[in-house]
Chain A
Amino acid sequence: MTTDRIKMILAGLPTHIVLIGLCLIWLIPTIGLFVTSLRPFQDINQSGWWTALAPRKAVGQDVYEKYLAPYYGLDGKAVEGVDLFDPELIGQFRRSIELTVFLREQMEEGKVQLEEMPDPQEMSDLLTYLRQLSGAENAASRLRFTLNNYIDAVMGYRGRANYTTACAEGEQALDLNCNISDLMNPRGMGRAFINSLLVAIPCTILPILFAAFAGYAFSWLHFPGRMGLFALLVGLQIVPLQMTLIPISRAYAQLGLNGTFLGIWLFHTGFGLPYAIYLMRNFIGSLPREIFESAYLDGMSHWTVFYKLALPLSVPALASLAIFQFLWIWNDLLVALVFLGGQRPVLTYQIGNMVSSLGAGWHLLTAAAFVSMALPMIVFFSLQRFFVRGMLAGAVKG
């Protein structure tokens, strides 16, 4: 009996190994992003996120010994008037470029004769080494995890330190006030989050509402050309979104709708409708006929039947449609890019901008990406049931 059990477990082993392996491959990239978003920015470029819990290495010692030790000595004091291990001096250099400038000056003053300058990566390692050795920054005492990246991303802080320290020291950046109003900073994720909600919520409700009307009429009301019109509307699903951007952005420019929420609400409503009508008609049309028959016979008007019977009964379809539409709008970049742009930045726009703009390092990007992913993940994991059901009801739109 026991040998049989062992045999069964062994036979199932390859299944578990392959499946768990695949799940890990699927998960690890996201975990990497999450761990990174919680690490102090000084650490992120010094070591991989998987070493977040390992002892910190002394980076840059080899670079120091190669380039600077011959002149400044191992104690950093060999050149007269300069002490490389002086925390006051090293504390001034916030970025490696400033150290480069300092070394150039030293060469011009004839104090040292470096044969070649370290490359940028080496320079950054060098600065880390000097900071640690001089005590200008105590790496060992720095916390391994921090929420500063999230605060910086939400407030839109792009300076050299982090928002909390900068504000505490009174070194506020130009567009920051160090009070609650910073949450509305146009460069920050806080503002973008609210904009994303302002786009996504109406864009979810409007098409579903109109689709419920139309779906009801297509299933339970008679009018000439009903089926033909339905087929035509559903056929519109194949029109790629990109195909309509050009004429609509021209029309919007004339109507003054570019950069307004109204413009993007209407656009997303138009594009959400074909799929929504298709799904709603199929669902409302599959409700038991007897219910509608007896309701009409009891003298209920079609309007009463619609909102007292059809709407409440189609809640499952409405829910899965709402989830789809919400996620689709929330995650959209292209339409927001074309119709809202930088005037009312949404999350995806803001992050896309950070990728290309200078000065936004991994610490900001990872935190910002996670801010944008948090809501979809919550929606998805809490309402997964509806999500899957909606997907099985018809091919997903893309």
Chain B
Amino acid sequence: MSDTQVPEIMKQGKIAPWLYVAPALLIMTAFIVYPGINTFLLSFKNADGTLSAAAACVQGEPCWGILENFRYALTAPIMLNAFRNNLLWGVLMVGGTVGLGLLIAVLADRVKYEALAKAIIFMPMAISFVGAGIIWKFVYAYGTGQVQIGLLNAIVIKLGGDPISWLSEPAFNNFALILVGVWMWTGFCMTILSASLKSVPTEIIEAARVDGATEWRVFWKVMVPIIMPTIAVVVTTMVINVLKIFDIVYVMTGGNYGTEVIANRMYGEMYISHQSGRSAAIAVILILLTIPFMVWNVRRFRAQEAIR
């Protein structure tokens, strides 16, 4: 339907349509648009929102004037660490979820217990980050004495190693948290990729097999190119999710031991340091980082819909 030719039947009075849209419009204006703008303005203010951010400048030290909160958000060591961690999350979690999701989607397609296997992989999507946090905290549990009740350390000891405090050891803790993220989100990638794989015409695959292509080549040269648009959508969706990742870190380490990510810094600046201006600046940066992926995602999705 395009706006240029309005069918007669759609003309239902001038006021009626607005009555249908009004409740949604009002609530969204009050709860998303207004606070969104408010936060944007707040990012140019000082800690308690009364003066310009430039008020926090100290003579003789670098200052970006009204963008002072952004200077903090982009240059403070603690923020740089958060950005670094988010980048690590991005690479490993997006790679892990999409890679594993694709692998499982392909493998499950060939077995009789496909539905069961997919349900198992998908199940973590249904539980809360808090629940997942406890499940994995228990896996990573570290005892100071002889007995290790955490599964991972028990395995390490069986293999002859020393138990490791997975969540507080900087060499491991980020990876331990990312693993939880992969555990939770692989099911999402698997489901979408699996649906896409099933839409690949069987004739093409059969033709490639008849021509003597190995399964490996069929996968890389035939299936992957066809489902590439879907892979792109899944990757961008995951990138957006990773940028917003908060709960896993909050529940499992509270952002301690160098595990903070951007969204945790934002929460911390707001509710722990009470620097609402800084917190708002971080929120603005987060949304700016998200927009390109979102736009690209919508475009790819539209293009894909058009082909169908």
Interface of A with B (CB < 8 Å)?
12, 15-16, 18-20, 22-23, 26-30, 32-33, 36, 44-50, 59, 119-122, 124-125, 210-211, 213-214, 216-223, 226-227, 229, 233, 236-240, 242-248, 266-267, 269-271, 273-274, 277, 285, 292-293, 296-297, 302, 306, 327, 330-334, 338, 347-348, 351-352, 355-356, 362, 365-366, 369, 372-373, 376-377, 379-381, 384, 387-388, 391-392, 395-396, 398
Contact = CB atoms under 8 A, between A and B. Distances in A.
Interface in B235-291: 237, 240-241, 244, 246-247, 250-251, 254, 263, 266-267, 270-271, 276, 279-280, 283-284, 286-287, 290-291
Contacts of B130: 331, 333, 348, 351-352, 369, 372
A237 B128 CA distance: 21
A97 to B, nearest CB: 15
B129 A333 contact: yes
A393 B284 CA distance: 29
A120 B301 CA distance: 58
B76 interface: no
B216 interface: no
B110 interface: yes
Contact of A369 (B36, B131, B149, B183): B131
B191 A388 contact: yes
A82 to B, nearest CB: 26
B3 A226 contact: yes
Interface stretch (B10-18, B169-177, B219-227): B10-18
- Of B14, B147, B151, B280, which is in contact with the most chain A CB atoms at under 10 Å from its CB? B147
B216 to A, nearest CB: 12
Contacts of B124: 26, 30
Contact of B31 (A18, A121, A244): A244
A32 B150 CA distance: 9
Interface stretch (B59-67, B78-86, B90-98, B113-121): B113-121
A331 B31 CA distance: 20
A221 B240 contact: no
A153 to B, nearest CB: 12
Interface residues on B, range: 35 or more
Contact of A59 (B137, B147, B149, B271): B147
A120 B141 CA distance: 17
11 contacts: A36-B138, A226-B3, A233-B24, A246-B280, A270-B31, A271-B32, A274-B28, A334-B267, A352-B130, A356-B254, A380-B122
A242 B135 contact: no
Contact of A239 (B12, B240, B263, B287): B287
A247 B3 contact: no
Nearest to B215: A11
Interface of A is mostly: helix
A284 B189 CA distance: 26
Contact of B270 (A12, A245, A381, A391): A245
B287 A240 contact: yes
- Of B20, B124, B233, which is in contact with the most chain A CB atoms at under 10 Å from its CB? B20
B307 interface: no
B6 to A, nearest CB: 5
A392 B139 CA distance: 32
Interface stretch (B50-58, B100-108, B200-208): B100-108
B100 to A, nearest CB: 7
B192 A391 contact: yes
B21 interface: yes
Contact of B12 (A18, A222, A379): A222
Given A29-B138, A246-B42, A293 B18 contact: no
Given A217-B21, A221-B20, A246-B270, A19 B108 contact: yes
B192 A392 contact: yes
Given A45-B147, A243-B36, A270-B28, A26 B123 contact: yes
A248 B183 contact: no
A193 B194 CA distance: 35
B306 interface: no
Interface in B12-51: 12-14, 16-18, 20-21, 23-25, 27-28, 30-36, 38-39, 42
